[in-house]
Amino acid sequence: MKPKLVIIENNLLSTLSMREKLMESLSAEFDITILSTGDIHQKKLAAERSLKVIDIGTCKQNPLGILGYLLRLNKQIRKIRPDLVLTFTIRPAIWGNLITRLYGIPTITTITGTGPLFTRKSLTYGMARILYKFSIRKTARVFFQNEEDRELFIRHRFVNAAATGRIPGSGVDTDHFRPATPATDSYFKFLFIGRLVKDKGIHEYVQACQLLREKSIPAEFAILGPFWHQNLRKNTVTREEIELWNSKGIINYIGHADDIRPYLSSFDCIVLPSYREGLNNVLLEACSMERPCITTNVTGCREIIEDGNNGLLCEPRDAHSLAEKMEMMFHFSAEKRHEMGKNGRNKVIKEFDKKLVIRAYHEAIRELL
């Protein structure tokens, strides 16, 4: 009988997109159960991939919502009695580790990014800092996707430094995200890809698009990504906002896609003016398909995009800086952008291949079991 492994994840979207290869690799050795949530479409996709999923809902911000999530999580952990648990993102990291510590289950936690955890002074983030310090201090292994996040957690004594490690994000399957034929449209096309939340820099992107339209730059400006309601409400981009931008002709909202490769191949430049990342997966996938990118000079983005080499860096939270870099990219020759794309794929193969990530998890698991 295989040992039991539980994955605690915020949403099935991440499991299906970023961690599918990891699940596939681990399933050869473990009986895997995913504790997460998602819409009907995502659950159908999980079933088609023979993934065992138990929907434990999401963790609301209010005390009753948190209590309900904890009870559901505890019920499943107690029932399954896994030999090992992997957690991803903030809420699973905090609440998952509280439960696994209760049962003495070895746990590997991956910090996929900190967002405004250390900068916001709100009660919510203040509580998150306190809970982080308590919940993961004794976690068996804590992986970080960039060195700045790792140093922050060590400095604030959230983690035991000896238990920490670095992984190159979620990694990229460079065979799946193969080089794309350059776009052949007569006009230039920019594409924002990401969850529709404000800290991905979507407002700055829309403002930059408007600035370029006012200068009569002949380009298309599009957005691809799902509406997202698992963040704080003030961080959420509403459907009404998207419809307003659409109706004004500022951007073209495409919707959401399970497979973003057709869009990466048909657009000239990918734009992600995020405020902060763990290590952004869209940028990695775009680079793997030889697409030049524009992103912000912040943690989790500048590790991937080298200014002038495989893309351009703009200042964070600055629509004018972003518009300037978008206009610069627009005026580059096709040969220059092609060279940037080649440089991006070479960097991904060398530093961010998914095989490196999978190997790190297998090594950590062997140490714990």
For residue 6, the SS3 value is strand
Task: Print burial letters for 113-146: b (CB count within 10 Å at least 16), e (below 16).
Answer: bbbbbeeeeeeebeebeebbeebbeebbbbbbbb
Helix segments in 144-254, DSSP class H: 147-155, 202-214, 239-247
* pTM exceeds 0.85, yes or no: yes
The CA distance from 55 to 48, in Å, is 16
| Same domain flag for 18 and 133 | yes
Residue 79: per-residue pLDDT: 96
Residue 112: per-residue pLDDT: 86
280 lies in some domain = yes
pLDDT tens digits, residue range 116-165? 666 666 666 667 777 878 888 889 999 999 999 999 899 988 899 999 99
For residue 314, the SS3 value is strand
Length of the chain equals: 369
183 lies in some domain = no
Could you tell me the pLDDT band of residue 241, with boundaries at 50, 70 and 90? Answer: very high
| Same domain flag for 78 and 160 | yes
Tally the domains of the chain.
2
Which helix (H) or strand (E) segment is 102 a member of? helix 97-103
140 near 163, Cβ under 8 Å? yes
Of 61, 108, 321, whose CA–CA distance to 211 is shortest?
A: 321
Q: What is the DSSP string of 326-337?
A: HHHHHHS-HHHH
| Same domain flag for 163 and 194 | no
pLDDT tens digits, residue range 186-233? 789 999 999 999 999 999 999 999 999 999 999 999 999 998 775 556
11 near 230, Cβ under 8 Å? yes
Could you tell me the pLDDT band of residue 48, with boundaries at 50, 70 and 90? Answer: confident
| Same domain flag for 164 and 200 | no
| Same domain flag for 192 and 323 | yes
Three-point CA angle 195, 202, 119, nearest 5°: 85
191 near 267, Cβ under 8 Å? yes
Q: What would you report as the CA-atom Rg of the chain, rounded to the nearest whole angstrom?
A: 21
Residue 40: per-residue pLDDT: 86
| Same domain flag for 249 and 333 | yes
For residue 322, the SS3 value is helix
> Any residues with CB less than 8 A from the CB of 143 and at least 6 apart, and which?
108, 109, 110, 111, 164, 165, 166, 167, 360, 364
| Same domain flag for 133 and 268 | no
| Same domain flag for 250 and 202 | yes
Residue 44: per-residue pLDDT: 87
| Same domain flag for 200 and 103 | no
Q: What percent of the chain has pLDDT over 70?
A: 94
133 lies in some domain = yes
The parent domain of residue 281 ranges over: 188-351
180 lies in some domain = no
| Same domain flag for 136 and 240 | no
pLDDT, average across residues 319-339: 96
| Same domain flag for 41 and 72 | yes
Three-point CA angle 314, 283, 111, nearest 5°: 100
172 near 352, Cβ under 8 Å? yes
181 lies in some domain = no
179 lies in some domain = no
For residue 312, the SS3 value is strand
148 near 114, Cβ under 8 Å? no
Helix axes 319-331, 202-214, angle to 10 degrees: 60
What is the domain-level CATH number for residue 290? 3.40.50.2000
Q: Across all residues in the chain, what is the average pLDDT?
A: 91
| Same domain flag for 156 and 205 | no
Residue 46: per-residue pLDDT: 86
pLDDT, average across residues 11-15: 86
Which value, to the nearest 10 degrees, does the dihedral of the CA atoms of residues 76, 36, 353, 277 take? Answer: -120
pLDDT tens digits, residue range 160-189? 999 999 999 889 999 999 997 766 667 899
Helix axes 334-351, 281-288, angle to 10 degrees: 120
Number of separate helices (H) and strands (E) present in the chain: 15, 13
69 lies in some domain = yes
Does the pLDDT at position 360 exceed 60?
Answer: yes
Of 281, 337, 285, whose CA–CA distance to 308 is shortest?
A: 337
